[in-house]
Structure 1
Amino acid sequence: MNAYVTSTIENGIGTIEFFHPQSNSMPSSQLKNLVDEINKLSQNDDTKVIILKSAGEKAFCAGASFDELISIKDFETGKTFFSGFANVINAMRKSPKLIIARIHGKAVGGGVGIACAADYTFATENASVKLSELAVGIGPFVIGPVVEKKIGTSSFAQLAINATEFYSAEWAREKNMYQDVYETPEEMDAEIQILAEKLANSNPEAMSQLKEIFWKGTEHWDNLLVERAGISGNLVLSDFTVNAINQFKHK
């Protein structure tokens, strides 16, 4: 199957689904399409609440596309690529709609950022998390602010420093990255539907103002996350990072 990002609206519930054949990784085109769909549903009065999910049965999102990372040869290209993740996070936080994330499998790097940028996150027991950026010589600079906001500085540091280790879904729930964890996707989907239907029948203005409160203090992130993208865009050019990514690709 080819990569895609699609969206639908039914009974006030907007659903965005993304897919990429390489473990739902994120090349630039996929990031742009995801931003476009988030903005489209956010601006549609028929949408009362948004569910964000990925397709497939394995990883929720493997983060940045290694194929694209290894092709970056100059700073501006690197900054532009990492700004794609900044744009997704900023679109999610600025949406006037509450966003529910459905994390059915492993979340790595940018996938953790997406999970943390949602307003309410459901997961299965298979949804372990890892910030692998430092292991390839970069560091989770762009997604760092949203992960730190959701789980706190100490837990963010633990993930960022121990960059080769997966942490369980239960760990993520204990740190408030996930609000609820279920044994099976079916159990999770049933609970997501119940909450989404409740929110679809709630006061849109109240939910919008509540979301503003949730994200108060992040107004500078439009600039901050792009600045952070520049840090990653510079580091991705180093020999260390190029060699590390090539090693990962050939495992």
Structure 2
Amino acid sequence: MSTVTAPAWAASDPYATALRTGRGPLFLRRGDGWLLPLDVERWCAAADAVDRAVLDRCEGTVLDVGCGPGRLVAELAARGRGALGVDVSEAAVARTHTLGGRALHRSVFDPLPGEGGWGTVLLMDGNVGIGGDVAALLHRMRELLRPDGLLIVETAPGDVDERSRVRVVDVTHGGGAVGEPFPWARVGTPALLALARRGGWPETVQWTDGERCFVALRSRRTSSRAEPPKSTAVMSSQRSRNTSGSSPVADR
């Protein structure tokens, strides 16, 4: 199994500071000056109504990949659900613990607890872009899920399919790039569904809630819908950032 080194932004002072303070603004910036906002304030707040509706669909134990500051893991813990976050940012993991959630400071491509047994895996807040290779990430999700498991992906609005190398920018401190560039991807629902079909994910459900877009994939055909679970499994063993799905803004 390949191991992905934590990207430069994960340990950068502006990113870590933003998570500790709960405030931005931060952006991902491509070499051509294109900017994508990182929705730090929303990530650091409690789970909102859209988040809670997604969590209602989760089945069994839940792994939140790129959990960030932990709002979803904390919400699941408050519901008494077995949940674990994983994030390459030490500050994100620390904040998750502060909120009462459980998280590992680790790449999703590193060995993880419960591989092949997770009921649900989450790729929220644009985390389908981790590593810049969506097909490879989907393959890794299959390794983590149980045979009938559920993968819930938040996609970018619109018909988007792009890969690039980006840096984190703190525009309040001169707009300078922080750290080395790292690979990232943005995909909308059409592109994700095409990749899922090629990757052998037979079940899909797609929906929008407000301005946010989601797809649920089954690792094996079981039912035609992703429904809220009828029971909650308890995780027996548990022991790492996120981007917004919103549209990029002009350079500044």
TM norm structure 1: 0.32
TM norm structure 2: 0.32
Structure having the larger proportion of residues in strand: 2
